Amino acid sequence: MARIQTILIADPDPDFLVWACNQLTSPQTRVLTTSDSEEAFRLYLREKPDVLMAETHLSPFGGMELLGRIRQRDSNAVIVLTSAFGTTQAVIESMRLGAFDFVRKETLPFTLKAVFDAALKAQAEMRAATSAKPQLTVEEHQESLVGKSEAMAQVFKMIGRVSLSDAPVMITGESGSGKELVARAIHTYSQRNGKSFVAINCAAIPEQLLESELFGHEKGAFTGAVGQRSGRFEQSNGGTLFLDEIGDMPIQLQSKILRVLQEGEFSRVGGSATLKADVRIIAATNRNLEQDVAEKKFREDLFYRLNVVRVQLPPLRQRLEDIRLLAEYFLQKVATRMRLPRLKLSEDAMKVLEGHNWPGNVRELENTIQRACVLSTSDVLLPKDIPLGMAPLSPEADSLKTAQATRDHPSLAGVVTKEMAIDSLLRVAQADPSIQLLPWLEREFTIYSMRATGGNQVRAAKLLGITRATLRKRMEIFGITKELNISG
């Protein structure tokens, strides 16, 4: 038997409550209504509705305070705020307090059911995710190297093999695929794990400073060298030095790296003393070094010295079965770091992640999860919380897209602007004078018509299909002045 859904609506307008109740009540949906915020709070705690829709202008306290009170008791409450006065500040504050959505009231004749369908679906997803057991936790995978795909199984096997020796390792793979994590794992499982793991990104340091970073310098070796400084080779002595993006290293420095590999010796910049270095070198690149060697951009002898053991890391799009494990791991990692409650992903959100191509690989996935944790208003991440880096439309393109979507689907949620809703309803009202508009819509129509005609009452009355006297009466009732200073 299907579960009965419960909706609670709190609004000061009795006409709106009657209309919304009639629209939403069904054999599967029970609708509770109230015009009092205190009563709404009590009803929520007693009835535990799936969704609450609350007007911001409630009494004795407003919908925003009601939102805050309920979210303190229930962090997964799905609450939609509505208002005829949806200021920017109100929208921002409602999202900050954890509202599921903020809807302009005049669009509800088009979007009421769609708004509730989305909210109820979100609640169902959160309920399902909350009951599911996570497959992986931070505590179980401290090293962050996660995967169950066959491609990653081969990588894990290679890590186990190469960790037994001190042979140089070359890790290749696209940017963001986790090359440093592999290097750290090799160090962790090696006999050098009691010593330092030191990483340096050869592409991130200016060419004139890279030699000093690697080998250190003596006092006065160059402008700004106010004292002696040890380099990365000294810092990693006895341990592992990870040279990330080795393909971007200047070719004149490559010969000095080769000397360290061959002789185990180097000198600081500006110094004459020969220093010893017992360091295991692990290098990584996203470049095609074979091609760079052929084009004389990378030393052939250094390439063969570094490429003793090759570990090829597959891009994330070739191991889609790892996305779920990685997402759950990053979710718990971010929650732990940000001191958030234990978070989960809904199944629909997971499908969004699994359907993405991930050009930025594992790093993009981790950043996406971190942004989703910031954007989420509950303990369960929903598809709306997943930002996948799509470029926003220009205002002009967005306007054209919205207009076209409204013409094709006049009841589509999320694409109906205030002006489009009023325009459409005005046409309906003008075509059939017997239609009785709700007072809250009537007020919006009056304001809209006055603004659309620059305050010309004759033209505004004609637009509304009423007399000028009726227009003036409405303006008086709703507190609308000729200068369009709106009360309330």
Q: What is the 3-state secondary structure (H, E, C) of the chain?
A: CCCCEEEEEECCCHHHHHHHHHHHCECCEEEEEECEHHHHHHHHHHHCCCEEEEECCCECCCHHHHHHHHHHHCCCCCEEEEECCCCHHHHHHHHHHCCCEEEEHHHHHHHHHHHHHHHHHHHHHHHHHHHCCCCCCCCCCCCCCCCCCHHHHHHHHHHHHHCCCCCCEEEECCCCCCHHHHHHHHHHCCCCCCCCEEEEECCCCCHHHHHHHHHCECCCCCCCCCCCECCHHHHCCCCEEEEECHHHCCHHHHHHHHHHHHHCEECCECCCCCEECCCEEEEEECCCHHHHHHCCCCCHHHHHHHCCEEEECCCHHHCHHHHHHHHHHHHHHHHHHHCCCCCEECHHHHHHHHCCCCCCHHHHHHHHHHHHHHHCCCCEECHHHCCCCCCCCCHHHHHHHHHHHHHHCCCCCCCCCHHHHHHHHHHHHHHCCCCCCCHHHHHHHHHHHHHHCCCCHHHHHHHHCCCHHHHHHHHHHHCECCCCCECC
Contact 61, 67 (CB under 8 A): no
pLDDT in the model for residue 314: 92
**pTM beyond cutoff 0.85:** no
Residuewise pLDDT in 10s, the chain (488 residues): 567 899 999 999 888 898 889 889 988 999 999 999 999 999 999 999 999 999 999 999 999 999 999 998 888 899 999 987 666 677 878 887 888 888 888 788 878 888 999 888 888 887 776 655 444 443 444 445 778 788 888 888 888 888 888 999 999 999 999 899 899 989 988 999 999 999 999 988 887 788 888 988 888 777 777 788 888 999 999 999 999 999 999 988 998 899 888 888 888 888 888 888 899 999 999 999 999 999 999 999 999 999 999 999 999 999 988 898 888 888 888 877 777 667 788 888 889 999 899 999 999 998 999 888 877 777 788 888 887 754 333 333 333 333 333 333 333 333 334 454 555 555 555 555 544 556 667 777 788 788 888 888 888 888 777 888 888 888 888 778 765 654 44
What's the CATH number for 319-385? 1.10.8.60
Q: Are strands 197-201 and 29-34 parallel, antiparallel or unpaired?
A: unpaired
pLDDT in the model for residue 69: 94
pLDDT in the model for residue 142: 42
pLDDT in the model for residue 423: 56
Q: Looking at the domain covering 417-478, what would its CATH class be?
A: mainly alpha
pLDDT in the model for residue 271: 82
What are the domain boundaries of the chain? 5-131, 153-313, 319-385, 417-478
Tell the CATH topology of 5-131: Rossmann fold (3.40.50)
Q: CATH for 153-313, among 3.40.50.2000, 3.40.50.300, 3.40.50.970, 2.40.40.20?
A: 3.40.50.300
The answer to whether the 153-313 and 417-478 domains have the same CATH topology is no
